[in-house]
Amino acid sequence: MLMFKTQSEMETKEIAIKLAEMLHPGDVITLDGDLGAGKTTFTKGLAEGLEIKRTVNSPTYTIIKEYEGRIPLYHMDVYRLEGSEEDIGFDEYFEGEGVTVVEWSLFIESYLPVNRLMISIEKVDEQQRSITINPKGDRYEQISKELKE
């Protein structure tokens, strides 16, 4: 487990940019934390690191958005699936050619792959965030170690 404290949106994005450099097709990252914690901000940093040119916005009304980049990004926000147990073909994304990022992953817990990089963000105050990275599986443990350096 790895923890960062950030003091600004930019600092949060910088962690995500660094993480993006280590990612491969098929990687899965989950982002949990309250509304306004910084899940979408973190995703924007990942997109920047993946050299995605389009602006990444919260996909709340579409659940999944796909972006082209050095590696494609599949950005999910599954907030609206709370309690629905609905499978909208998650595996195709998790096993696809892109990196999948899932905001509010707790709502689709049973569909998530066992191996994943779990990130939770907590709002400490207006500017400060506590970012906890919990890797599941060897690959993500390795990524987590590299991120620490």
Ligand X SMILES: Nc1ncnc2c1ncn2[C@@H]1O[C@H](COP(=O)(O)OP(=O)(O)O)[C@@H](O)[C@H]1O
Contacted entry of ligand X, Mg ion, none for residue 127, CB cut-off 5 to 8 Å set by kind: ligand X
Give least dist CB 33 to ligand X, A.
6
Residue 36 sits in the site that holds ligand X (CB under 6 A): yes
Instruction: Specify the residue, 94 or 104, whose C-beta has the smaller distance to Mg ion.
Output: 104
Under 8 Å CB-to-CB from 113, ≥6 apart: which residues?
A: 28, 94
Residue 9 sits in the site that holds ligand X (CB under 6 A): yes
**Which region among 44-52, 58-66, 68-76, 127-135 touches Mg ion (by CB under 5 A)?**
58-66
Residue 58 sits in the site that holds Mg ion (CB under 5 A): yes
What is the spatial distance between Cα 111 and Cα 82, in angstroms, rounded to a whole number?
A: 13
Give least dist CB 63 to Mg ion, A.
12
What is the spatial distance between Cα 127 and Cα 37, in angstroms, rounded to a whole number?
A: 10
Residue 39 sits in the site that holds Mg ion (CB under 5 A): yes
Position among 19, 20, 30, 39 found at the interface with ligand X (CB under 6 A):
39
Angle at CA 138, nearest 5°, toward 25 and 76?
A: 40
Which residues contribute to the site for ligand X (CB under 6 A)?
A: 6-9, 11-12, 33, 35-41, 58, 103, 127, 129
